[in-house]
Chains A and B, each alone.
Chain A
Amino acid sequence: MSQTSHGVGGVSYDAKKRTWPAEFNVFLALVILVVIFELIGRIFLGDSFLFNTRSDVSGLFNEARLQIIILQVSIVGIIAIGVTQVIITGGIDLSSGSIVGATAMIAMSFAQVATVNGNPNPKAMFLAQGWTDLPVIVPLLVAVGCGLLAGLVNGALIAYTRIPPFIATLGMMVTARGIAKWWSKGQPISFPTDSFAAIGKGLMPVIIFLSLAVLFQLIMTYTRYGKHCYAIGSNEDAARMSGIKIANHKILVYVIAGILAALAAVVLSSKNLTAQAGMGVMYELDAIAMAVIGGVSLSGGRGSIVGTVIGSLIFGVIISGFTFLRLDAYYQEMVKGVIIVGAVVLDQWRQRMRALRA
C-alpha cells in the first residue's frame, strides 16, 4: 500500500496475510480433546478411546463409540444448523427446544396406529376421528407446518415490532412449551406407525443431520440467502442501504430455524417411539452452545455450519469421553460450561490478535 501512484491499479495476493479458516482452530480443539481422552484412557484405564482393542471385532477404530459420539448430538445438531443461521444474522433463537416439544406432540398424534396388540391404541389422540395409520407424509407435513408457523411468528415479531430477538423467542419458548403441555393435557403420545418410527431408527438421525448440514453449508456459501445472512449480521445498516430487504430475510431465517427444530422433533419422537410435553427442554441452549463452540460469533456475521458441526462433535466427544472414563454426568455439565465460556474467550482473543496484525 505504500507505493500507490496515480493511475496504477491492481490487486495482489499476500500469502503471509492469509489466515486459517476459523473452523480449522475448532477442528484442532476437537483433535486435542480426542488425544487427551485417548492418553488418559491408555495411561489410567489401559483402554483406547478411539481405536478398536477387541480381538473379536475387526476394524481399526472403535466404531461403536464413533457412532455414539455423533448419534447423541445429531438431534440437537439439526436444531443447531438453524440456530447457526439465526446467530450469523445477528439474532438468537431461544424457542427451538420448546418448538421441539410442541411439534413432537402435535406431529406424533398424526402418526399413531389404530390398534396395539389387538386392542385400540390407548394413547391415540384422534381415534374417534379415524386419523390413525396415516401415511408418514401427514405427520411430516404437520411438523413442518408447526415449525413454519412458530418461525413465522418469531420472524414477524422481530422484523416488524423491532423487539429484540431474545425477547421474541423467549415468548415463543414459553408459549410453545405451554402448547406442548396443553395438546394432550400432559399425557405422553405413543405407538407410532412403523413408517414414522423408521425415521429415527439406527443411524438415521446421523444421516439426516449430516445431509442437512451439507445442504445448508452449501446454501450459506453459494447462495444469495447465505450472503445476505452474513451481510445483515455484520452491518445491518449497510445491508439496508444496499437494498437488502431486511424484514423478509429475517422472517425467512427464523422460519428455516423453526422448520429445522420441527424436523429434530420428528427424528426425536420417532427415535423414542413417543412424544412428551417435556421433550427438548434446554435443547435451545445446547444448540447455541454447539454453534458458539464451533466459532459462530454471537455478535453476528461470523461462523459456519461446518464450524457448528465440529462444535457438536466436541459436545459428543465430551459426553462419550466422560462415559469412557466412567465419570459421573455431573462432571460433563461442569466441563461443558467451562468449554462454552472458554470458546468465546478464545475467539475474542483471536480476533484481537488478528486486528493487531492487520
Chain B
Amino acid sequence: MTDIVLKTENLTKRYGGVHALEGANFELRKGEHVAIMGDNGAGKSTFVRQITAVEQRTNGQVWFDGKEVNFTGPIEAREAGIETVFQNLALADDLDVPSNLFLGREKVLFNLGPFSILDRKYMRKATEAALVRTAVKIPNLSNTIRHMSGGQRQCVAIARTATFASKLIIMDEPTAALGVQETAQVENIIRTLKDNGEPLILISHNMRQVFDLCDRIVVFRRGRIVANLRKENTDGQDIVSYITGAKTGEAELAA
C-alpha cells in the first residue's frame, strides 16, 4: 500500500442523468507512468477533473499519498502535490518564464500583504533549476510567453510542475496542438520525468507516444474503465479494439 501514490475506488460522476464516469477503480504506483486512452467523451477528462477537484465527484473515494483526500478545489489538490498541465495552457502570455512558473505562489522577500516584495532572484534561480531538471530549452528566460512557440509554451507549462515538489503530474493531451519537432521535445521531457521517478498520468490519443512513454495503459469507454493493461502484454490493435468496443469486459492486469 505504501508505494501507491493515487488510488480511486468506485469514482463516479453524473451530470444530471448523464453518467460521465461510472465506478472507476484506479491505482498509480510510485515512479509509474500511466496512459489514459479512450474515445472523445469516454470519461478521460472527467476522471482527471475529479482527481484534481476541478469538479466534485458524485460518489467514490480517492486516496492520495497514503491518505484519503477530499479536495474542495484545484488549488487544494495542487497544494497537496498534484500538478496538472491543462489542455488549454494555464499561462499568462505577458509574463516571463519565472513569473509564470511561480504564478499564484510567488516567493516573497518581505510580507506586506498584497504588496509583498517578490524574491525575483530566488524565482529566477529556481526556474533555471527546474528547466535543467526537466531538460527544457528556452532561448531567453526574460522573454514573455507571447513570443514563444507552442512547443516552448508547453515546455514552460510542464517545467512548472517540476518547480515544486510535485508528487503526481497529470498531463491532458500535452502534444495535441504541437508539430513533430515540438512533440519530440515534450516527449523528451516526459522521459526525463520518468528517469527522475516522478509518477505521471498522461491522457493521449497518440498510440505511438503512449507505447513509447508509459508503463501501463488504461482504456475508458462510455464512462467506464474497460481495460487496464501492461504495455508488454498488449499492442496497438488490442487497445484500439477496447477503445472502439470491439473487445469488452474489464481486462485486468496479468499479474
Whether the Cβ atoms of B191 and A241 lie closer than 8 Å is no
How far apart sit A2 and B152, CA to CA, in the bound complex (Å)?
12
Whether the Cβ atoms of B114 and A252 lie closer than 8 Å is yes
Nearest-neighbour CB distance to chain B for A25, whole angstroms, equals 16
On chain A, the residues within 8 Å of B118 by CB distance are: 222-224, 227
Assuming the contacts A219-B115, A223-B118, asked whether A6 and B99 have C-beta atoms less than 8 A apart, the reply is no
State which of A10-18, A126-134, A331-339 sits at the interface with chain B: A10-18
Residues 1-26 (chain A) with a chain B CB within 8 angstroms: 1-2, 4-14, 17-19
Task: Give which listed residue, A8, A17, A222, A252, contacts B143 with CB less than 8 A.
Answer: A17
State which of A106-114, A231-239, A286-294 sits at the interface with chain B: A231-239
Sort A-B residue pairs by CB-CB distance and give the 6 closest, nearest first: A242-B104, A301-B94, A9-B135, A234-B94, A243-B104, A242-B103
Task: Give which listed residue, A8, A18, A233, contacts B94 with CB less than 8 A.
Answer: A233
What are 28 A-B pairs at a CB distance below 8 A? A1-B139, A1-B152, A4-B184, A6-B188, A9-B131, A9-B134, A9-B135, A9-B136, A9-B192, A10-B137, A11-B128, A11-B131, A11-B137, A14-B139, A17-B143, A223-B112, A224-B106, A228-B114, A230-B92, A230-B94, A231-B103, A233-B94, A234-B95, A235-B92, A238-B89, A241-B74, A242-B105, A244-B104
Task: Give which listed residue, B89, B117, B188, contacts A5 with CB less than 8 A.
Answer: B188
B162-196 vs A, Cβ < 8 Å mask (1 yes, 0 no): 00000000000000000001001100100110010
On chain B, the residues within 8 Å of A9 by CB distance are: 131-137, 192
Q: Does A302 sit within 8 A of B, measured CB to CB?
A: yes
Whether the Cβ atoms of B135 and A4 lie closer than 8 Å is yes
Q: Does B247 sit within 8 A of A, measured CB to CB?
A: no
Whether the Cβ atoms of A225 and B115 lie closer than 8 Å is yes
Task: Give which listed residue, B99, B146, B191, contacts A231 with CB less than 8 A.
Answer: B99
How far apart sit A12 and B134, CA to CA, in the bound complex (Å)?
15
How far apart sit A354 and B147, CA to CA, in the bound complex (Å)?
7
Whether the Cβ atoms of A13 and B92 lie closer than 8 Å is no
On chain B, the residues within 8 Å of A233 by CB distance are: 94
Give the one of B92, B132, B146 with max A CB within 10 A. B92
Whether the Cβ atoms of A243 and B188 lie closer than 8 Å is no
Chain B residues within 8 Å of A, Cβ to Cβ: 74-75, 78, 86, 88-95, 99, 103-106, 108, 112, 114-118, 120, 128, 131-141, 143, 146-149, 151-152, 181, 184-185, 188, 191-192, 195
Give the contact-size bracket for chain A.
Answer: 35 or more
Assuming the contacts A9-B133, A9-B192, asked whether A301 and B116 have C-beta atoms less than 8 A apart, the reply is no
On chain A, the residues within 8 Å of B99 by CB distance are: 227, 230-231
Q: A2-B181, A7-B195, A238-B91 are in contact. List 16 more A-B contacts (CB 8 A).
A: A7-B135, A9-B131, A10-B131, A14-B139, A17-B139, A17-B143, A223-B115, A223-B116, A224-B116, A233-B94, A234-B93, A235-B90, A244-B103, A252-B114, A358-B147, A358-B148
A262-293 vs B, Cβ < 8 Å mask (1 yes, 0 no): 00000000000000000000000000000000
Chain B residue nearest in CB terms to A3: B137
Q: Does A65 sit within 8 A of B, measured CB to CB?
A: no
Nearest-neighbour CB distance to chain B for A163, whole angstroms, equals 24
Task: Give which listed residue, A4, A12, A224, A242, contacts B114 with CB less than 8 A.
Answer: A224
How far apart sit A289 and B114, CA to CA, in the bound complex (Å)?
28
Whether the Cβ atoms of B94 and A11 lie closer than 8 Å is no
Q: Does A60 sit within 8 A of B, measured CB to CB?
A: no
On chain B, the residues within 8 Å of A223 by CB distance are: 112, 114-118
Q: Does A123 sit within 8 A of B, measured CB to CB?
A: no
Whether the Cβ atoms of A4 and B185 lie closer than 8 Å is yes
On chain A, the residues within 8 Å of B181 by CB distance are: 1-2
Whether the Cβ atoms of A239 and B104 lie closer than 8 Å is yes
On chain A, the residues within 8 Å of B74 by CB distance are: 241
Chain A residue nearest in CB terms to B86: A241
How far apart sit A222 and B148, CA to CA, in the bound complex (Å)?
24
Nearest-neighbour CB distance to chain B for A232, whole angstroms, equals 8
How far apart sit A302 and B93, CA to CA, in the bound complex (Å)?
10
Whether the Cβ atoms of A231 and B138 lie closer than 8 Å is no
Assuming the contacts A6-B192, A10-B131, asked whether A249 and B90 have C-beta atoms less than 8 A apart, the reply is no
On chain B, the residues within 8 Å of A2 by CB distance are: 181
Nearest-neighbour CB distance to chain B for A299, whole angstroms, equals 10
Nearest-neighbour CB distance to chain A for B234, whole angstroms, equals 25
Nearest-neighbour CB distance to chain A for B178, whole angstroms, equals 12
On chain B, the residues within 8 Å of A14 by CB distance are: 139-140
Whether the Cβ atoms of B137 and A222 lie closer than 8 Å is no
Whether the Cβ atoms of B106 and A227 lie closer than 8 Å is yes
